[in-house]
Structure 1
């Protein structure tokens, strides 16, 4: 006859939610930030794409989104049984435009992911949910990479009313909160309905709410929308502040 302890353990196992597979670029350094958006009972299974020495240019963004590497990385994170797999890279998921983003998601699904999301796809979903059509964007990129983001947004009928980049070719994770706040404040315009801080390698968790209070509009960030969409895919809600998370209804798990 099973003991009360064994029955209780079975109940706990049956309530254990699926985790998330996270595929990040080789230089991703903010694992701790992704965990902050995850509920305590949701595990993140992170893997990285292959290392290469190209600086952060359009060519690097294209290389990061290589389908063969993405397929292999997806299979790497399937062993623990995640409920969804997300490609946590902004430039790598917008550099090929809308069609390129679709191909990335399809590649993950074909590799066995139960659900698949990308950072740039998540951004579009978040903008639609908030009804945003005019956006100001702050990026760490050089102009050529930022221009690809503008083009991607145009394909989704989102107008970029203002943009500013830091012109960095590497070490993006070393940018401080103060520097992020400075560039976001500088890029804001009265006609911008919201602001987006691009790149999953920029720290943003603690500054979203202060920026929204100061600017009186939604502030979206790459890691925020990545985790928001990935968690929605498994019927969960991201942990944290900001108008996006406050407005987001929980999606029922399939």
Structure 2
């Protein structure tokens, strides 16, 4: 007896460079269509005296070279550095240096979460935004500065209020409460920073509750990478996923 089985369907490679402690792999996969495979490579472990020291170390362009080469060797057609704070801590100039380092390492196209967030917020028409994040104060201040430099008016920033390492295991309940607390009536959108925070299933219901776009770090990263590939992100009910920049 012969079994006829179609496929496998041809795949397009999307590369992700993630921080050494990143644990939201499955969330990233949920935004991609069935024709896309996500290749994830992590940075080397770094150490810092505090939150700012760690994210600054992860923002060194040399950190992204090896993992970029790894995902490109198996066919990534675009590479995203999925770390928000690592890519905004040094400002717009440093964010550009990270992208150039990925291109130099072989990425056909390169982007960072911070750059993707700016693009996504513009795509949903946001000008004045409420920002929520899990960072220590010096990093939160740099985030507000980065967004302001990109042309946004930051209505307010609200921190998660737990030790930074606890963001790695944050629950949906914690993130939803953070968004509801951090929202401001005069903000056009809410931005949820940090790729460590889980957000996929929260976005659509929070947007319905608040009546405005909720853009999150992981969502913006995958949306922007898929835009490069000419493909839509898969996020039922999520406003950003209905927008083409």
Settle same-fold status: TM greater than 0.5: yes
Which SS does the other structure have where 1:239 is aligned?
A: coil
Provide Cα deviations, 1:179-212, integer angstroms capped at 9, x if missing partner: 1111111111111000011100100000001100
1:244 to 237, 240, 245: 240
State the partner residue of 1:121. 115
Q: Which has the larger radius of gyration?
A: 1
Alignment of 1:209-228 (within 5 A): 209-228=204-223
- Number of corresponding residues: 240
State the shift of 1:40 in Å: 1.5
Q: Alpha carbons of 1:175 and 1:31: their partners in 2 closer, same or farther (altered >3 Å)?
A: same
2:84 to 90, 95, 110: 90
State the partner residue of 1:208. 203
TM-score by length of 2: 0.93
Paired residues of 2:129 and 2:188 also in contact (CA < 8 A): yes
Alignment of 1:38-187 (within 5 A): 38-54=32-48, 57-167=51-161, 168-187=163-182
State the shift of 1:16 in Å: 2.2
Which SS does the other structure have where 1:137 is aligned?
A: strand
RMSD, matched Cα: 1.7
Q: Distance in 1 between matches of 2:10 and 2:181?
A: 44
Paired residues of 2:46 and 2:58 also in contact (CA < 8 A): no
Alignment of 1:190-205 (within 5 A): 190-205=185-200
Q: Alpha carbons of 1:129 and 1:190: their partners in 2 closer, same or farther (altered >3 Å)?
A: same
1:230 to 225, 229, 232: 225
Paired residues of 2:47 and 2:57 also in contact (CA < 8 A): no
Paired residues of 2:82 and 2:113 also in contact (CA < 8 A): yes
Which SS does the other structure have where 2:57 is aligned?
A: helix
Segments of 5+ residues of structure 2 without an aligned counterpart are none
Q: Distance in 2 between matches of 1:28 and 1:55?
A: 19
Q: Distance in 2 between matches of 1:175 and 1:144?
A: 21
Q: Distance in 2 between matches of 1:215 and 1:55?
A: 38
